[in-house]
Amino acid sequence: MDIGVSVGPYVDRIDELPGSFSFVEVAIGEGERPVSALDPAALSERLTTRGFGATVHLPYRQPLATTVERIDSATLEYFDTLLAAAAAMGADTAVAHPRSRGSGRDHLADRMGAVVDRAEEHGVTVCFETVGHAGGVALEQVGELAAEAGAAVCLDVGYAYLEAGTEGTTAFLDSYGDIVDHLHVHGARHRRDTHIPVGSGDVDYATLGPALADAAPTTATVEVFTDDPGYLTSSAERFTAALDGVSPEDECP
């Protein structure tokens, strides 16, 4: 499993990242790094110079499915533009939120499938993220929809834990681990702290680690919101140790 790190839309942070990471996840599109400020070729060169691969996070506010066909068609074309930019950056994975507004589950599954088809045309794998804790589609339903749409899943471990606990997250992996291709890893607390360093919250990574290892996702992004490279590196180390069942707390200096 390759371990990367998120910089959100802040691409200037790429030059400050520890070289131990395999790739960088960049948030692109509305509310993130806008298309007008996106130079895929320059980003690709910048990443390559540092020895990093790339993944992208697509806009998370935009619903894929609504009750208005013109809106859905425009959203698909917009995502197509972003997926083309992702491919030009050298990214082979794109994370999307399976959001809908006013439409039924079947329509959402159809729209998710349409995004998958466009992504495949660009050589990119779309992974739909489990963000039920943040007000999105419930954990189990993300698995059902992704399977129906022929899509992959990005399991956000912190959000899944807050939504369903250790037992529920393990059950999700038992049911859908074969389509979990990407992870977001961060610490979280029940008092609603999220995206804190791995090992500093309530998430039971020691128990979840072996189940995550068995699912064998291709990539995992450390999604810790900090500018301190030490916290990013230690989070990656603690997560890697947890894959072998070692408690992140035991890895703390």
What is the pLDDT at residue 253? 43
Who's near 94: CB < 8 A, 6+ residues apart? Answer: 55, 56, 57, 58, 82, 83, 86, 119, 124, 125, 126, 127
- In the predicted model, is pLDDT for residue 151 greater than 70? yes
Q: Are 118 and 82 in contact (CB under 8 A)?
A: no
What is the pLDDT at residue 245? 80
Who's near 13: CB < 8 A, 6+ residues apart? Answer: 7, 227
What pairing do the DSSP bridges indicate for beta strands 187-188 and 180-185? unpaired
**Strand, helix or coil at 129?**
strand
Who's near 30: CB < 8 A, 6+ residues apart? Answer: 59, 61, 62, 78
Q: List pLDDT tens digits, range 179-190.
A: 999 999 999 998
Average pLDDT, the chain: 94
What is the pLDDT at residue 144? 97
* Residue tagged 């130079």 (tokens): 39
What is the pLDDT at residue 136? 86
Backbone angles phi, psi at 104, to 5 degrees: -80, 170
Q: Sorting pLDDT into bands at 50, 70 and 90, what band is 134?
A: confident
- In the predicted model, is pLDDT for residue 118 greater than 90? yes
Whole-model pTM? 0.95
